[in-house]
Structure 1
Amino acid sequence: MTGRPVGHRDPLARFHSYLHGGTSSLLSTLPTLVVFPVYKTVFRQQIHNTPVLQAVGQLYKEGPVKLYRGVAPPLVMRTLNGTLLFGLQDTLLHQLSLSSQNVTSAQPALAGFGAGLVEAVVFTPFERVQNVLQNGQNDRHLPTLKSVLVRLNAQRLASGYYRAFLPITARNAVGSALYFGLKGPMCAVVAGQGLSPVVSSFISGTLTSMAISLALYPVSVLVANMQAQVGGDVKGVTACWRMLWSSRQRSVTLLYRGGSLVILRSCITWGITTAIYDRQQKLSG
């Protein structure tokens, strides 16, 4: 950061936040490709409540071609998500600083909350398509991306592209608020141990995203189960949660099945994204 008051940043500096957010997320697409099988393994555990070895066995039997079925939406979403999330958070933070004489520690979190709300509106359709493609039970009647889009276009928004919109909004808004609220203070603590700025940013991004992923993991499981199917009996959030909780035998341990793999994915993607973004912001400042 430059040390200048946020309210005095010029429009070009705020544009850099959008550019750097997109760039950092784009550069992290390679790790996304590498860990996509991990993500898909977690998804199978979320949907079918299977142990990790059984989920890996399912993917192995399906073969390498189907292993990367559904990888396009998260790659596109990662790049656009970084652009919107970091850029919009910085824009909202600027507006908050203009309406307040003092920059408080709560403002980054509040701006992150607002950015998370917009993020949910924009990216819920991407997540919906991704979850339909990753569900192996859809391979026969929805074999291609085009077939999935045609089917979702025929549905109402609430049951089609915006299925599970409410839990996604809650997850993204709270997650973004925690990320932007904790990232800076945690980075300062890590930097106080004598580590370089890049390493400090990486560690702070990793630890922050790890904590958020674990705290909000049950919501992600709920979203995956709500979005995996197209058509049929469309139930509300409360009914779906009751069905999910019952299917997990009312066990928190079973509900968190696959959670350890989420930690691994968060360590790789958000750690790298945070380090690259903070470095670019510092160089442009």
Structure 2
Amino acid sequence: MAWQPGSFLQEASHQVVAGGSAGLVEICLMHPLDVVKTRFQIQRGKTDPTGYKSLGDCFRTIFQREGLFGFYKGIFPPILAETPKRAVKFFTFEQYKKLLGYASLPPGLAFAIAGLGSGLTEAVVVNPFEVVKVTLQTNRNAFTEQPSSFVQARQIIKTDGLGFQGLNKGLTATLGRHGVFNMVYFGFYFNVKSILPVNKDPNLEFLRKFGIGLVSGTIASIINIPFDVAKSRIQGPQPVPGEIKYRTCFKTMATVYKEEGFLALYKGLVPKIMRLGPGGAVMLLVYEYVYAWLQDTVDHKQHF
């Protein structure tokens, strides 16, 4: 069948809208856990005077010192970023998946490679927003005292520029984080979903998809978190002002491992799983249901 530009654009627009909707819903629900995750990841061992004793202590301290809005620090950059970010995530996954269909790869491998490609593309789009977000999240002043996202972005550009020491700092770690996550996330979800039988009951079918998405997000979070820790260290405040200790992705991982041990590469894992386990399921479900609704709407209009 010949390629039809109108059909492609319509399908692409549905993928973009559904992906953007998935990102917006997920970030609004899960951002407080992202703040907690980042705070844990920038801690430098048990001797860090600003460290938190436990997950509960972190929640309690942020609430007492910074108020309820302390859990929403840095949310504006993700809201600005999540819509295009998730739109890119799902749209490019679908496109890479189509391209790989011509390569006669096994479906399981095609899903994983398409996920890797979508993650790398997504990382390039989102990294400047991540730099601003992490800078704001690691600011321990009260919410009303910290600079706005735009002011913080201008300050970063003015001080360090747009390059790999400025607004694109930590790009390699972000590429690793998103590439690995999406490879596992999409690969696991679509392969397992095709194996487990579909339920005729809509409620049970919803639970089936949510469960697979929950496991997908959890496994992907466990596998990619060393890249996440490296990203937070590179993009967050350095131990000594004016000196750059954490500069590149794998060197940062090696430094953290050498100075703080293997488990330090998994700092923030619990809040990350608490966010991206259910958050990963929410994104996939919102994407699938919004996309299906858009397709049904068009089919209904064409029918009449």
TM-score range, shorter chain: 0.7 to 0.9
1:31-110 equivalent positions in 2, closer than 5 A? 31-32=29-30, 36-48=31-43, 49=45, 50=52, 51-59=54-62, 60-97=64-101, 99-100=102-103, 104-110=107-113
Structure 2 length-normalised TM: 0.78
Please point out which of 218, 226, 233 is paired with 2:243: 233
Distance 1:103 1:16, change over 3 A: farther
Return the alpha-carbon distance in structure 2 between the equivalents of residues 236 and 65 of structure 1. 31
Return the alpha-carbon distance in structure 2 between the equivalents of residues 16 and 143 of structure 1. 36
CA RMSD in angstroms, aligned pairs only: 3.0
Return the alpha-carbon distance in structure 2 between the equivalents of residues 178 and 107 of structure 1. 12
Q: Report if aligned partners of 1:31, 1:268 keep a CA contact under 8 Å in 2.
A: no
Query: Do structure 1's residue 111 and structure 2's residue 114 form an aligned pair?
Result: yes
1:1-285 equivalent positions in 2, closer than 5 A? 10-11=7-8, 12-32=10-30, 36-48=31-43, 49=45, 50=52, 51-59=54-62, 60-97=64-101, 99-100=102-103, 104-136=107-139, 143-154=147-158, 155-156=160-161, 157-191=163-197, 196-229=204-237, 232-234=242-244, 235-237=246-248, 238-248=250-260, 250-252=261-263, 254-283=264-293, 284=295
Q: Report if aligned partners of 1:24, 1:274 keep a CA contact under 8 Å in 2.
A: yes
Q: Report if aligned partners of 2:176, 2:224 keep a CA contact under 8 Å in 1.
A: no
Residue type of the partner of 1:62?
E
Q: Report if aligned partners of 1:24, 1:276 keep a CA contact under 8 Å in 2.
A: yes
Give the aligned length.
274
1:90-118: CA deviation from partner (whole Å, max 9, x where unpaired): 12222333x33677332222222211111
Q: Report if aligned partners of 2:217, 2:279 keep a CA contact under 8 Å in 1.
A: no
Query: Structure 1 regions of 5+ residues with no counterpart?
Result: none
Secondary structure in 1 matching 2:42: helix
Q: Report if aligned partners of 2:189, 2:212 keep a CA contact under 8 Å in 1.
A: yes
Return the alpha-carbon distance in structure 2 between the equivalents of residues 126 and 229 of structure 1. 16
Query: Structure 2 regions of 5+ residues with no counterpart?
Result: 46-51, 297-304
Matched residues, percent identical?
20
Return the alpha-carbon distance in structure 2 between the equivalents of residues 52 and 162 of structure 1. 30
Distance 1:137 1:102, change over 3 A: closer
Deviation at 1:86, TM superposition (A): 0.4
Deviation at 1:84, TM superposition (A): 0.8
1:128-168: CA deviation from partner (whole Å, max 9, x where unpaired): 10000011258899633233212211214111111111111
Return the alpha-carbon distance in structure 2 between the equivalents of residues 136 and 29 of structure 1. 20
Residue type of the partner of 1:41?
V
Return the alpha-carbon distance in structure 2 between the equivalents of residues 207 and 139 of structure 1. 36
Residue type of the partner of 1:164?
G
Residue type of the partner of 2:11?
A
Distance 1:263 1:102, change over 3 A: closer
Structure 1 length-normalised TM: 0.83
Q: Which deviates more, 120-129 or 103-112?
A: 103-112
